[in-house]
Amino acid sequence: MSKVQRLIETFVPENYKLFLDIDRPSKTFKGQVTITGEAVKEQVSLHQHELEILSVKAGDKSLDFTMDDEHEAVHVALGVTGDVVLTLDFAGKITDNMTGIYPSYYTVDGVKKEVIATQFESHFAREAFPCVDEPEAKATFDFSVKFDQSENEIALSNMPEIKSDERKETGVWTFDTTPRMSSYLLAFGLGDLQSKLAKTKGGTEVGIFATKAHPASSLDFALDIAVRVIDFYEDYFKVKYPIPLSYQLALPDFSSGAMENWGLITYREIYLLVDENSSVSSRQQVALVIAHELAHQWFGNLVTMQWWDDLWLNESFANMMEYVAIDAIEPTWNIMEDFQTTGCPHALKRDATDGVQSVHVEVNHPDEINTLFDPAIVYAKGSRLMHMLRRWLGDDAFAAGLKIYFEKHQYGNTVGRDLWDALSQTSGKDVASFMDSWLEQPGYPVVRAKVTDNALNLSQEQFFIGEHEAKGRLWEVPLNSNWSGLPDTLSTAETAVEDFKALADSNTGAFRLNTENTAHYITDYRGELLEALLAELPALDPTTVHQVLQERRLLAEAGHISTADLVSLIAGLTSEKSYMVAAGISYISASLDRFVDEGSAVEKAYKNFLINIFAADYARLGFEKVAGEPDEDEMIRQIVLGELLYADQEDAVAKASALYEAHKDNLASLPASLRSLVLVNQMKNAETDALVDQYLDAYVATNDNNFRRDLASALARANSEKTVNRILESFKDKDIIKPQDLSMWYAFFLRRPFTQERVWAWARENWDWVKSALGGDMSFDKFVIYPANSFKTAERLAEFKAFFEPQLSDMAISRNISMGIKEIAARVALIETEKDAVHQAIEAQNE
């Protein structure tokens, strides 16, 4: 494997003076960049990708250069070392792949329009201009841009505009010098945009920008959150927001979720804009995404990882801070519950498959850089580790350590050790040795707790789901017990606490570990410990119940306990539930669903079982939203109705149909929190060509991305060959389905056997197209991950292997292929061994 060459070893840039001239009709640009810096070698190299380099000069002197497309570079024969000013003229193309400089397409009042914007992370600045495109090569940027501008159109970049008077004559937009920063953070956007502006307490101008295809009111929510989150971070980090403005720009086409460009954060529209008709969970999501990107303005932008192997310094950290920030500004949302029900299970699942990467991971090839952004690992697991650390240190020492870290390293680059040093300084604890076992090793432990001979035995071993090779890994596990009298951490394979009786007498309640579920492990309670815990379960707080359900589910998926035990575990939870408990049950029912085939004999009993579990909740909450109800009720209702409609509960089905009838002339007006449920129910029970037409037309016409998602989910519930074929044909039609949304459709179609069979055939037949449309994109690997998440038969496993094994050499998907095979194989084997027991347990609940 060829190692990535570091171009900063040949040239250290100090300042870029960059001018771009953009021509939308021909989808091309011309540019000139003048780079001041220091040549370390007599031959210096700059990154470029698919640029045409027209000339290279040092002062007036033309220099020879050679293009090296394999290494995405241009080599310049300078002949001397030391301070130098290089000027390059170049040209490039604007392509649709959502990296570098790219167009976003949208329609307003029937007119097709475009916004041009950038996506430079991780290594796509080189598609826009020659530069040392490495995080360590920090420099200042003086950016200016000209484009085929019409009236009303504007240009935005990281810094405020300067020389606007000159622009009126020349048409050139010039922006103030940026702070010293990495090339991946430079950004601009241009087009016919609307905006709303406000100021933070510290005087930073905050703006929300979007195309005019959206109602102005959809910008309000984000503006309020952004202002308050910046205020919060300034207070928490004790470091001022470093630049004069903070703009948030929603783009109609976007590869990932959002991007933290310094001062000009870009977003997928669904993660910034909030329609007046919106659900609680969609608003929470928007707030979290804004808080995430704003956390990067310090963590990532002000202080940046030296190289991509320490990407976790950016992403794990921002993924933790988003929750800390939203919890602080909206305490009634209980947003930590969201992390417990999304990030935690995601991390615990993927990190249990052998072959998973560690949070800190070597990068040897540019193609590997994209695979670092694994949502389950560098995001979910990484942030779980940060939460664990924050608890271990205490929030005061944690925040104080961050301040030291920022002050010491601002405008510079760091490695993990620099953060540990700062946190050790304020906490007096050895942070590096605590965190190393968690960051450097893949996987996590299951801690087994049991009582033998009046001793409490605690042991740890790596937790695996599926085939694996045990490596004897150990972790420094914070026990965080509800009982006192235990050691702080478990770092050996096992330990015993003598005289369990005395220990039990001096404590109250059932023995528990990992309280609040902040540390990254699960517990397998045995014997009397398990009995005591389960007896207490209904009386425990919602987060703990959720945690117990989650841990039992994982133990069942790994085959440590029988899946049939999950049936009796949730059967007792029939009284009215909190969101956390309802969500925990719905994860278990998703796990049990795999054992219940559509139309099978056990299906009826299973449906009755679910109806029974959620009957009290339905009685309390009803079908429709109640004015003034707590946010939590809306979220519980969504779960309850989802289960009841799946189970064909008559009253719920009738109410869903009635709601469809009442809103059928304007589907967008269905209450957002119920819309998906109602649309799916209608498709499930009353699919007609006219209904499909109605949904597809609405899908194309709407600019509300949440509505679009609901429609896609409903269309994927189709039962007719005709409908499915019709939709599959639209997969390649960008005017109907945007490439950014293709993986979402794919996931929806994989959910049921009928659509799964067809979409899986489609993906294999059209693989080359998928690869070319999304190959450089963040969502490409989802075309491997999603089938692995849903396949459950030996036949699909064989097909998966046959299709993907020959592609194992493709670094972008290699790990996901081998992990995917293990994941499916484990599921197939589990169903095989447990099916009879699970069916019996379900039938027994109906007797």
Q: Whose CA is closest to 460, among 439, 435, 477?
A: 477
Residue entry with tokens 């703990």 = 544
260 binds ligand BES (CB under 6 A): yes
Q: How far apart are CA 196 and CA 222, in angstroms?
A: 10
CB 365 within 8 A of CB 4: yes
412 binds ligand BES (CB under 6 A): no
Q: How far apart are CA 66 and CA 420, in angstroms?
A: 43
Which CB atom, from 262 or from 392, has the smaller least distance to ligand BES? 262
Among 253, 293, 354, 418, binds ligand BES (CB under 6 A): 293
Tokens of 503: 């220990």
How would you list the strands of the sheet with 43-47, edge to edge?
43-47, 73-77, 65-68
Picked from Zn ion, ligand BES, none, the partner binding residue 350 (CB below 5 to 8 A depending on kind) is none
CB 290 within 8 A of CB 229: yes
| Rg, the chain, Cα only | 28
Stretch binding ligand BES (CB under 6 A), from 138-146, 250-258, 600-608, 686-694: 250-258
Beta bridge partners of 46: 74
Among 72, 114, 121, 741, binds ligand BES (CB under 6 A): 121
Least distance (Å) between residue 317 CB and Zn ion: 9
Write each residue from 376 to 395 as x if it is in contact with ligand BES (CB under 6 A), else as -, in one continuous string.
Answer: ---x----------------
Which CB atom, from 255 or from 426, has the smaller least distance to ligand BES? 255
Q: How far apart are CA 831 and CA 837, in angstroms?
A: 10
Output helix, strand, coil percentages for the chain, rounded to the nearest 5: 50, 20, 30
For the question of residue 293 being annotated catalytic, the response is yes
Which CB atom, from 261 or from 460, has the smaller least distance to ligand BES? 261
Indicate which residue of 72, 134, 293, 643 is catalytic: 293
Stretch binding Zn ion (CB under 5 A), from 14-22, 149-157, 316-324, 367-375: 316-324
Which CB atom, from 315 or from 351, has the smaller least distance to Zn ion? 315
Write each residue from 777 to 796 as x if it is in contact with ligand BES (CB under 6 A), else as -, in one continuous string.
Answer: -x------------------
- 3 state SS of 93: strand
Stretch binding ligand BES (CB under 6 A), from 73-81, 87-95, 140-148, 287-295: 287-295
185 binds ligand BES (CB under 6 A): no
Write each residue from 354 to 373 as x if it is in contact with ligand BES (CB under 6 A), else as -, in one continuous string.
Answer: -------------------x
Which CB atom, from 20 or from 117, has the smaller least distance to Zn ion? 117
Picked from ligand BES, Zn ion, none, the partner binding residue 373 (CB below 5 to 8 A depending on kind) is ligand BES
The amino acid present at 92, given as its one-letter code, is G
Residue 308 DSSP class: G
Classify 545 in phi/psi space as left (phi over 0), alpha (psi -120 to 50) or beta: alpha
CB 321 within 8 A of CB 291: yes
Query: Who contacts 539 (Cβ-Cβ below 8 Å, separation ≥6)?
Result: none
Picked from ligand BES, Zn ion, none, the partner binding residue 121 (CB below 5 to 8 A depending on kind) is ligand BES
**b/e burial code for range 678-689 (CB count within 10 A of at least 16 → b):** bbbbbbbeebee
Q: How many CB atoms lie within 10 A of CB 83?
A: 10
Picked from ligand BES, Zn ion, none, the partner binding residue 258 (CB below 5 to 8 A depending on kind) is ligand BES
258 binds ligand BES (CB under 6 A): yes
Beta bridge partners of 114: 105
β-pair type (522-525, 445-452): parallel
CB 91 within 8 A of CB 28: yes
Which CB atom, from 262 or from 595, has the smaller least distance to ligand BES? 262
Least distance (Å) between residue 22 CB and ligand BES: 22
Among 122, 340, 563, 673, binds ligand BES (CB under 6 A): 122
799 membership: H or E segment, kind and range: helix 794-804
State phi, psi for 445 to the nearest 5 degrees: -90, 155
Least distance (Å) between residue 258 CB and ligand BES: 5
State phi, psi for 254 to the nearest 5 degrees: -155, 135
Picked from ligand BES, Zn ion, none, the partner binding residue 770 (CB below 5 to 8 A depending on kind) is none
Stretch binding ligand BES (CB under 6 A), from 137-145, 258-266, 415-423, 680-688: 258-266
317 binds ligand BES (CB under 6 A): no
Stretch binding ligand BES (CB under 6 A), from 104-112, 286-294, 575-583, 737-745: 286-294
Least distance (Å) between residue 294 CB and ligand BES: 10
Which CB atom, from 297 or from 424, has the smaller least distance to Zn ion? 297
Beta bridge partners of 145: 20, 173
Beta bridge partners of 189: 117, 156
Least distance (Å) between residue 251 CB and ligand BES: 12
Q: Which of residues 587-616 bind Zn ion (CB under 5 A)?
A: none
Beta bridge partners of 462: 445
Among 137, 311, 318, 670, binds Zn ion (CB under 5 A): 318
Which CB atom, from 318 or from 742, has the smaller least distance to Zn ion? 318
- 3 state SS of 492: coil
Q: Whose CA is closest to 45, among 17, 96, 81, 9?
A: 9
Beta bridge partners of 55: 89
State the residue number with the nearest CB to Zn ion: 318
325 binds Zn ion (CB under 5 A): no
Q: How far apart are CA 780 and CA 512, in angstroms?
A: 41
Which CB atom, from 289 or from 613, has the smaller least distance to ligand BES? 289
Q: How many CB atoms lie within 10 A of CB 73?
A: 22
257 binds ligand BES (CB under 6 A): yes
Binding site for Zn ion (CB under 5 A): 315, 318
User: Catalytic residues, which ones?
Assistant: 293
Binding site for ligand BES (CB under 6 A): 121-122, 256-260, 289, 292-293, 296, 315, 318, 373, 379, 778
